[in-house]
């Protein structure tokens, strides 16, 4: 009973702010008010016809998608090397690859800004992508390593004895069994990129700005109004849609438990 109350309290604490922000968007009032006095979708219209928000939303989706793909492409071979090979300085290498997790985002953002300036790359979308990949790789690496380390080596060996080449073994046995880790890590990578502010804020320009950065600067300049609520609701809807999709395909319990079964 107490546990249930506790759970309910935690759940409320976590979700109420979102409910308020999203709820505001469904009001017809000119200023943000919760609960709204009358329901309306007008602010969605306003938000979605605002070119700044739409550009930023598009940028964020493309950026998060590319970040996810790249982190998987980098994280999978890295995990394979860390688990299946004996490398000099193995644990050091692993710590290094996971270190962005413990680095303050602002610090990394500033450092990246100086680096892109000093090295002559300049502030382009590629710079932001690189920065997002660096901070998102640890998530994919972490989850994939966890599944990899729990993987029965005998499965791969048996596949080999049965006539599968190393590549066939990887494709037909190892990769399918690692998939829960890759999907979970990829999901975290997507979300990390999709709602990142501390790093992005140093690296974006008017052309490359992301949705969270745009929302932030809008709030700084305009104050909280229903337009922000509407665009936040769109963002939440996108993420929820992604989660539902993954749940349909893999089962969310499987992804979060990383059991590999």
Partner 1 sequence: MSTPLGRSTMAEVELRGIAKRYGAVQAVADLDLRIDPGQFVSLLGPSGCGKTTTLRIIAGLVRPDAGQVIIGGRVMNDVPVHHRGLGLVAQNYALFPHMTVMENVTFGLRMRRAAPADIARRAGEALEMVRLSGLGDRYPRQLSGGQQQRVALARCLLVEPAVLLLDEPLGALDKKLREAMQVELKSLQRQVGITAIFVTHDQEEALTLSDRIAVMHQGRIQQVGAPHEIYETPRTRFVADFIGVCNFLEGKVIGRDAAGVTIRTDGGALVSIAADEARALTEGTRVVAAVRPEKLTLRAPGGSSGPGLSARVEAVVYVGTAVHYHLRLATGERLIAYRQNDAAPAVALATGSDVVVSWAPGTARLLPEESG
Task: Show contacts with partner 1 in window 160-219 (CB under 8 A).
Answer: 160-166, 168-169, 172-173, 176-177
Q: Which is nearer to partner 1, 10 or 175 (CB)?
A: 175
How far is 28 from 44, CA to CA, in rounded Å? 11
The least CB distance from residue 155 to partner 1, in Å, is: 5
Do the beta carbons of residue 219 and residue 229 sit within 8 Å?
Answer: no
The least CB distance from residue 76 to partner 1, in Å, is: 17
Site string for partner 1, 102-141 (x = CB under 8 A): ----------------------------------------
| Residue 150 in the binding site for partner 1 (CB under 8 A) | no
| Residue 257 in the binding site for partner 1 (CB under 8 A) | no
The least CB distance from residue 179 to partner 1, in Å, is: 8
Q: Which is nearer to partner 1, 172 or 207 (CB)?
A: 172
| Residue 157 in the binding site for partner 1 (CB under 8 A) | yes
Q: Output the CA angle 36-42-46, nearest 5 degrees.
A: 120
The least CB distance from residue 260 to partner 1, in Å, is: 8
| Residue 84 in the binding site for partner 1 (CB under 8 A) | no
- Of 49, 119, 221, 261, the one binding partner 1 by CB under 8 A: 261
Give residues in contact with partner 1 (CB under 8 A). Answer: 152, 154-155, 157-166, 168-169, 172-173, 176-177, 261
């Amino acid at each position: 009973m107490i546990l249930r109350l506790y759970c309910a309290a935690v759940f409320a604490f976590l979700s109420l702010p979102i409910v308020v922000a999203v709820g505001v968007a469904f009001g017809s009032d000119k200023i943000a008010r919760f609960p709204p006095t009358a329901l309306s979708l007008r602010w969605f219209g306003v938000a979605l016809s605002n070119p700044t928000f739409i550009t930023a939303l598009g940028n964020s989706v493309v950026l998060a998608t590319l970040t996810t793909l790249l982190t998987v492409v980098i994280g999978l071979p890295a995990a394979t090397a860390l688990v299946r090979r004996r490398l000099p300085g193995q644990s050091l290498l692993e710590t290094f690859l996971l270190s962005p997790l413990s680095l303050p985002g602002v610090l990394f953002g500033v450092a990246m800004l100086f680096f892109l300036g000093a090295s002559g790359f300049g502030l382009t979308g590629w710079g932001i992508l690189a920065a997002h990949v660096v901070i998102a790789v640890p998530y994919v690496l972490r989850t994939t390593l966890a599944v990899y380390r729990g993987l029965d080596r005998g499965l791969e060996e048996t596949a080999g004895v049965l006539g599968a080449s190393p590549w066939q073994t990887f494709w037909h046995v190892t990769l399918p069994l690692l998939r829960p880790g890759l999907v979970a890590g990829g999901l975290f990578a997507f979300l990390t990129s999709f709602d990142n502010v501390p790093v992005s804020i140093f690296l974006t320009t008017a052309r490359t700005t992301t949705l969270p950065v745009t929302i932030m600067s809008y709030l700084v300049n305009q104050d909280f109004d229903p337009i922000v609520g509407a665009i936040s609701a769109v963002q939440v809807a996108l993420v929820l849609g992604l989660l539902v999709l993954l749940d349909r395909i893999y089962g969310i319990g499987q992804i979060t438990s990383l059991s590999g079964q």
